[in-house]
Amino acid sequence: MSDPPLLSVIVPCRNSVTTLETLLDSLLDQRSPVSFEVLLCDNGSTDDLRGFARNASTPGIDLRYVDASEHRGAAFARNRGIGEARSEHLAFCDADDAVGPAWVRSAFEALQRIPVVNGSAVPVSHEDFADPDRLRAYRHRRLRGDVPADLPLAGHGNIAPALMAGTFAARRNFLLQMGGFDASLWRGGEDNDLSYRIAATGLSLQESDGMGILYRSASSARSRCRKSFHHALSLALVCARHDA
């Protein structure tokens, strides 16, 4: 058996085949000698993600399919990835995003010093995501690639420490000590819930400049309203749970 990778990248997926190629291209385009695997954690897809993982032409990426369909929600899918990962160093991103050119290296190097590290995100239009040249220019121009020796404290959201489930990294044993993600929060808010539990240990979240991602802006006012509505519901639940 080959040596385990230095980093396991965990990607929760649900009907994500149409966007995964962009994510995988960004993972191939890494300025990094760090070996890594990518776990596609299938949370009930109907678009043959298993076949995509089997047939994907991704030289240089150790791509693995993980069945995470037993329980609905990205939290459960991420937990399955934590259990199946071959590395003790884990990084998380979403299937419809694109990671920066120093994302893998930044995650791995930060985890040599601290147990969990946050990333950052830049919104990009659907039109820009559809243009490979424009998207590549965005990645190299707008996502910082430096890996500072002293990581700054991460910013706070409006109710909680801002752990970003779509771009963060952690040591596996740390996440297991935290109990992983709460799979009962299948509508969202699982990252805020984990943030509160991390904060309760006295640990302050820090942020790596190099762990930037590009994410797709909502394509219409209606979808923005729907997303905001569900986000507000999940935040209200988390606030109540933690007496915030």
Could you read off the pLDDT of 162-177 as tens digits, one per residue?
A: 789 999 999 999 999 9
CA dihedral 73, 38, 99, 237 (to 10 degrees): 20
**DSSP 8-state secondary structure symbol assigned to residue 153:** B
**DSSP 8-state secondary structure symbol assigned to residue 156:** B
Identify the pLDDT of residue 147. Answer: 72
**DSSP 8-state secondary structure symbol assigned to residue 12:** E
DSSP characters for 190-224?
HHHHHHHHHHTTTPPPBEEEEEEEEEEPPSSHHHH
Angle at 52 (CA atoms; ends 14, 4), nearest 5 degrees = 90
- Check: CB of residue 122 under 8 Å from CB of residue 197: no
Q: Is the pTM of this model over 0.85?
A: yes
User: How close are the terminal C-alpha atoms of the chain, in Å?
Assistant: 48
* Interatomic CA distance for residues 63 and 41, integer angstroms: 11
- CA-based torsion, 4, 41, 47, 27: positive or negative: negative
Tens digit of each residue's pLDDT, the chain (244 residues): 578 999 999 999 999 999 999 999 999 999 888 999 999 999 999 999 999 999 886 777 899 999 999 999 999 999 999 999 999 999 999 999 999 999 999 999 999 999 999 999 999 988 899 898 999 888 988 887 777 777 888 876 655 567 899 999 999 999 999 999 999 998 888 998 999 999 889 998 999 989 999 998 876 777 777 777 777 777 777 778 878 7
Identify the pLDDT of residue 158. Answer: 57
Q: Which fold has domain 7-241?
A: Spore Coat Polysaccharide Biosynthesis Protein SpsA; Chain A (3.90.550)
